[in-house]
Amino acid sequence: MPVRRPIRYRIAARSPEAHLFEVSVTVESPDPAGQRFALPAWIPGSYMIREFARHVVAIRATQGRRPVGLRKLDKHTWHAEPCDGPLTVAAEIYAWDPSVRGAHLDTGHGFFNGACVFLRVAGHEADPCEVEILPPRGARYRAWRVATAMRRKRAPRAGFGLYAAAGYDELIDHPVEMGTFALGRFIACGVPHEIAITGRHDADLARLERDLERLCETHIRFWGTPAPMDRYVFLVSARDEGYGGLEHHASTALACRRDDLPRRGGARGRRGLPQLPRAREPRVLPHLEREAYPARGVHAVRSRGGELHRAAVGVRGHHLLLRRPRARARRTDLRGRLSRAGRPQRDRARAHARPAPADRRRIELGRLDQVLPPGRERRRTRS
């Protein structure tokens, strides 16, 4: 069986001030009929068309120093002319998406998902991949580090250098954070875990490590040991407003309010800890450039499971789920805490039912009472 040569990627934070990543991919044995490259339109775990190719500012193909013709076939696919020897395609990608599913770069930090920046080499999806991650130039970036669950090949711990993945689907399943983040470490069921917090915050890292250790050990034992990953990384972005999360096989990208994190001195955050990591999903590579639909019911199981597990390990105030008070009170507590996806279908139908014709005027009058100033409700309703 012939040895597959690795697909070599290179990503550099070229201009944090302009929010530009410079990304290149080199194929040692391109297709003799012309090599195709494509950028995904969506990211596994977030099933909505994102059109990441719209962030490509410039793209070119070269063989050594000789330029190679590159033709765009559609909104996210390019075709390079036939050439004999290694082929390199380089692109400048605008990174100003602060969500957990995009790519973001400024003078404070950098973050990217592989689906947003790494071109897929058609016909070479199963080939091993190598990624060289480079820091921005300048003295102000000398303290930057790297946080990712991707396997290190020639890179120091939490440092820039060469990383490796078994294939393209594994490559895009490892988000990367770079900057001057706070880093915590703990071990759960023999698996090293890390939590990297980016942004201004006053979090109690020691408490986070203790709580996450208990939470992760409960999840791992629930699903069965040994854990399916060698290590796991939580990538947390602390912000003024907003929250969200995107789970991966060996990491989770999260966004939360600064006040949601437990503070030093015993103060409690308002929200809980990061989400339950998602199970490994089947390969979706043939569908990355068009719509695809996950199995029904997966999100409901994940939502309820996360709440029950946080209650079981005692890191959130969901102890009411585990008590057995009066039947009526128990039903109220459960309905108030379980997700909407886990409620009976009749409640969902009742919530979305259209009002009867006799009730429409009453609803409109209620809306007028909210809009009109006091004392004018009667005159408006009579007319």
The span from the CA of 138 to the CA of 157, in Å, is 21
pLDDT at 139 over 80: yes
Of the pLDDT bands very low, low, confident and very high (cuts 50, 70, 90), residue 340 is very low
379 has a pLDDT exceeding 50: no
- CA distances for 317 relative to 114, 254, 268, 269, 311, angstroms: 36, 21, 11, 12, 7
Sign, CA torsion 174/180/185/188:
negative
83-111: pLDDT as tens digits: 989 999 999 999 999 999 999 999 999 99
Asked if pLDDT for residue 341 goes beyond 60, the answer is no
Mean pLDDT, to the nearest integer, of 169-183? 97
Higher-confidence residue of 127 and 336: namely: 127
- Give per-residue pLDDT as tens, 367-377: 444 444 445 44
Length of the chain: 383
Contacts with 166 (C-beta within 8 Å, 6 or more apart), sequence order: 128, 129
pTM higher than the cut 0.85:
no
